[in-house]
Structure 1
């Protein structure tokens, strides 16, 4: 379909911008990284209506600045053949073709949390294997077969490497090798690449053998002290990979690259969101429940400190913010929560919050008794008072449900579950006593302030939690385009990105 591989390679090396197609695009985290580096977006395939609209709004706006209609349409990849999709996005022309395909097939069936939920729903210990979302990578590979890109990038959760005892990373590489692609995969953590979030993900990069390129993953630019839970989760994900690779003659797995000894420290939560204006309406009883709009603009607070990361978020090329920004909205919660948020210390999780809640509840019972009113345990009045002080979740079963962020560390992983609640990311400022806002979540995921999210608060949180951090996408894009000999746009020279060139190919930097 369209030009052959050799023609595409020649066109790229002659300076043409690589043409990018994003499958399972979400709102466009990977696309933003690649477009910033010098690619042209053909479009994306995304089932979620809000994410599809956000993608169109940011990368394919109409003449009046609204989301482009044909790009904003949600699409099920199972209902769209590659040729048909290109004809739709290109208005009938498929002559130029696709140079790079990126995307992350949906991951609920691969994650341990997702598997548990599916087992609960279907009452079957291996229900996750029968979730159709677990096989959508097959359709991704079908697009590769039909469109023959020069290169591709696939992203997913680490547990794709240990899915019911099967390493899907190897299975995907076997299929790609049959299509003449050289493959490699590894686990990368976004915090090592300047993202203020400890987010571990599987990345697979494949380059067509005609390029003569052997891709190497980018060297981290930040050193990070990860909690023990991250290393143990990595060991579980890599269990079968490392065991099998001891016997394999050829392995596609690459050890995660390490930062140099002189690497800078991690970008912290305070670096990322410390300049944003405080939100305190809920403390003055001015907060109201209901839909939170994301398009309402508010001015920056010029009196608050600005970090290098903040400047990047405000001045990202093509997504600059001027004197105001949007999406700085958060949830309306309860007095019980605000009381606990104020008392929690940085790093405190749900068991600690529960302990504090029980302490406050006992103090309230005691003060009620001193006032001459006795509440009998087991009575409706006692239960009502307890609900006003104590969250209902078992602290032995939900240790990670709540967490107060530490201002001096990167945040923990943002999940799509943010669309339902944000107790996993309680703001470090005890005076504000709240969870993060949509814009703060975007900052922690490295979306610039000029990036727009369609829908209201909950869809906004979900889109961000589902995304690939754009800065990590940029690091991979920069490395890949450099290896291919493409003309690279480097808007972030001050970030000191360290690149390792693919063999025999040198980058051309614009």
Structure 2
């Protein structure tokens, strides 16, 4: 076996002493009771990782008295920096939740925060999990997908004033968006008003292209607003790490002297703050893995615009048609790419702007907005993993301040209508609306064949004709086999003047009439958008695809002008409108409302079932009870 080009080295194992006020779970009640006297609101951080969010919340004014994570090195890091309890435990275990609930019984907790493990929701995570499922090493339904339920269970036991959840944007935008909708429904059931937003880190002074989904739940009567961006120009990586000393690839000295540039940027000063007097000239963890000779040669040829595919063939160790950005040199005058836990494996995505090496631990920590005094337990790979998985402390600080501001006052005029109320209203209205009034009556069905029959064939007909003949043909062609057995189907479709659609609907019927047709459904004859909509209406998919009419309804109902420039606001608004949507009925209701009342131009608000809570209909933020929406009888 040939030797690797770079000798394997785990690096030095960093151990840190526990915080001088740390305690165990049995002592937490006494610790919390004493902490309450300091008048700072108490918070706990579940799935806390290395403590990025905890640090931000502390700086915002909270006192974080408990952190829980199943990753040993992260829990040890948290224990080194925070008083109270830092627990290395698996929150999927009911006995752990019971122990936490018992320890905090009777203690007023202001905030429960945390980020249930995000890998099942991330694009990189999905690829890895798909491979493990194929290899039989993991079940298709990853149990971490359900760890949000553990989070809710703790919230239910502790009953905090507010809740903060962090995750990757794909939890809202991807195939797993149902998890976000379920989480919102669960928190609303516990009497929280729930707000969601995807925030870009660079808008809050953090020098990287990082986006994260945040969910904030506050008690009814609390007017919460996400923090406004603090900048509209992108921060420069230069202003974050250019003051750090030059080090070679493979540097292993855990402590080296700072270098003192002529001028420090505001961000660099912020990172250097809080260093103890006796540590003023000590820079920790400015260490980095070694680089292979062939990679070093490649690095020397690269600037921040060079793509992996631009390198000479002799220097490519990976396919450039798949790994077009396998190597990425960062640019001084732009933010870094998003720091992720992948750094623990290799740093090819994070090549220093000038030096021919990857980012050091300290540089990665700075880009995440960790101050220089904040250190990480374990070997270098453990440190990189902790840093990449953390919530940037500076972003946590801004969110913490917004939550404190909201929970410090009560506003009886706060306008919030629960997702459950909106979803139920749409569902009930669709069920009760006379069929002859519906623009697309097949939306009331949950049978995929009936829905596709309507979408494929009847949607092309004038509304008046649909109302006259749909009920007849719905019964005549009740299922795909019945359609195929009808020897007069061609004549009937010809009479509708839809002969050109006969091959399409016949192919659909043949596909759906096969045994176990839904197990491996392929309908190339149906457009992708049409099929996605049909699967949603039949509740055969968790996705609720967004089309212009649906977004039009959501935008008019919520009137969210301040959110229109935020990332993913369309998906988040529609998710709030339809909720969990068992059976696809709320989704069907939105489509029908869009076609009947909420048309382009001037909407017909007086007849719309959502007019009591619609911003466009009312043009004023009046308090509305969710109960007003839900039809009785």
TM-score, length basis structure 2: 0.56
What's the offset of the Cα at 1:165? 5.8
Give the Cα–Cα distance (whole angstroms) in 2 for the partners of residues 207 and 317 of structure 1. Answer: 35
Of 29, 40, 45 in structure 2, the residue corresponding to residue 17 of structure 1 is 40
Task: Give a deviation string over 1:93-112, Cα, whole Å, max 9, x none.
Answer: 64324220111010111112
Match for residue 71 of structure 2?
48
Of 383, 386, 407 in structure 1, the residue corresponding to residue 332 of structure 2 is 407
What's the offset of the Cα at 1:168? 2.4
What's the offset of the Cα at 1:221? 0.8
Give the conservation status (yes or no) of the 8 Å contact 2:275–2:373.
no
- Aligned partner of residue 185 in structure 1, secondary structure: strand
Match for residue 427 of structure 1?
352
1:296-375 map, 5 Å: 296-303=254-261, 305-316=263-274, 322-352=280-310, 355=311, 357-358=312-313, 361=314
Greater fraction helix = 2
What's the offset of the Cα at 1:76? 0.7
Of 215, 218, 222 in structure 2, the residue corresponding to residue 204 of structure 1 is 215
Structure 1 moving runs of 4+ over 4 Å: 316-321
Give the conservation status (yes or no) of the 8 Å contact 2:167–2:214.
yes
1:271 and 2:259 aligned = no
Task: Give a deviation string over 1:105-146, Cα, whole Å, max 9, x none.
Answer: 101111122111111111189x78511111100110111111
User: Which has the bigger relative contact order, CA under 8 A and spacing at least 6?
Assistant: 1
1:465 and 2:433 aligned = no
Of 420, 427, 452 in structure 1, the residue corresponding to residue 375 of structure 2 is 452
Give the conservation status (yes or no) of the 8 Å contact 1:25–1:45.
yes
What's the offset of the Cα at 1:83? 4.3
Gaps of at least 5 residues in structure 1 are 1-7, 61-67, 224-264, 362-389, 487-502, 504-510
Match for residue 214 of structure 1?
223
What's the offset of the Cα at 1:57? 0.4
CA shift in 2, pair 1:273/1:319, >3 Å: farther
What's the offset of the Cα at 1:334? 1.1
CA shift in 2, pair 1:304/1:276, >3 Å: farther
Match for residue 134 of structure 2?
123
What's the offset of the Cα at 1:85? 2.5
Give the Cα–Cα distance (whole angstroms) in 1 for the partners of residues 279 and 405 of structure 2. Answer: 29
What's the offset of the Cα at 1:82? 3.3
Of 42, 55, 66 in structure 2, the residue corresponding to residue 32 of structure 1 is 55
What's the offset of the Cα at 1:169? 2.1
Question: What is the root-mean-square deviation of aligned Cα atoms in Å?
Answer: 2.8
1:169-184 map, 5 Å: 169-184=180-195
Of 100, 106, 118 in structure 2, the residue corresponding to residue 85 of structure 1 is 100
What's the offset of the Cα at 1:419? 0.5
Give the conservation status (yes or no) of the 8 Å contact 1:158–1:200.
yes
Of 61, 83, 88 in structure 2, the residue corresponding to residue 74 of structure 1 is 88
**Greater Cα offset, 195-204 or 300-309:** 300-309
Match for residue 363 of structure 2?
440
What's the offset of the Cα at 1:409? 0.4
Give the Cα–Cα distance (whole angstroms) in 1 for the partners of residues 44 and 140 of structure 2. Answer: 28
Give the Cα–Cα distance (whole angstroms) in 2 for the partners of residues 189 and 312 of structure 1. Answer: 20
Match for residue 17 of structure 2?
none
Give the conservation status (yes or no) of the 8 Å contact 1:300–1:325.
yes
CA shift in 2, pair 1:411/1:321, >3 Å: farther
CA shift in 2, pair 1:208/1:93, >3 Å: closer
Number of residue pairs aligned between Structure 1 and Structure 2:
377
Give the Cα–Cα distance (whole angstroms) in 2 for the partners of residues 436 and 406 of structure 1. Answer: 12
**Greater Cα offset, 109-118 or 437-446:** 109-118
- Aligned partner of residue 185 in structure 2, secondary structure: helix
Give the Cα–Cα distance (whole angstroms) in 1 for the partners of residues 39 and 198 of structure 2. Answer: 31
Give the Cα–Cα distance (whole angstroms) in 2 for the partners of residues 450 and 130 of structure 1. Answer: 40
- Aligned partner of residue 118 in structure 2, secondary structure: coil
Gaps of at least 5 residues in structure 2 are 1-31, 410-620, 622-633
Match for residue 150 of structure 2?
139
Match for residue 164 of structure 2?
153
Task: Give a deviation string over 1:284-322, Cα, whole Å, max 9, x none.
Answer: xxx48xxx57xx221111146421100000115899962
What's the offset of the Cα at 1:86? 5.6
- Aligned partner of residue 147 in structure 2, secondary structure: helix
Give the Cα–Cα distance (whole angstroms) in 2 for the partners of residues 78 and 411 of structure 1. Answer: 34
CA shift in 2, pair 1:161/1:34, >3 Å: same
**Greater Cα offset, 319-328 or 50-59:** 319-328
Task: Give a deviation string over 1:466-486, Cα, whole Å, max 9, x none.
Answer: 000011111101111111128
Q: Highest CA radius of gyration, 1 or 2?
A: 2
- Aligned partner of residue 167 in structure 1, secondary structure: helix
What's the offset of the Cα at 1:43? 1.3
Of 393, 397, 408 in structure 2, the residue corresponding to residue 474 of structure 1 is 397
CA shift in 2, pair 1:474/1:93, >3 Å: closer
Give the Cα–Cα distance (whole angstroms) in 2 for the partners of residues 158 and 31 of structure 1. Answer: 21
Match for residue 98 of structure 1?
109
Give the conservation status (yes or no) of the 8 Å contact 2:121–2:176.
no
Match for residue 372 of structure 1?
none
- Aligned partner of residue 202 in structure 1, secondary structure: strand
Give the Cα–Cα distance (whole angstroms) in 2 for the partners of residues 166 and 321 of structure 1. Answer: 46
Task: Give a deviation string over 1:21-55, Cα, whole Å, max 9, x none.
Answer: 00000001111111011111111110111100000
Of 392, 401, 417 in structure 1, the residue corresponding to residue 342 of structure 2 is 417
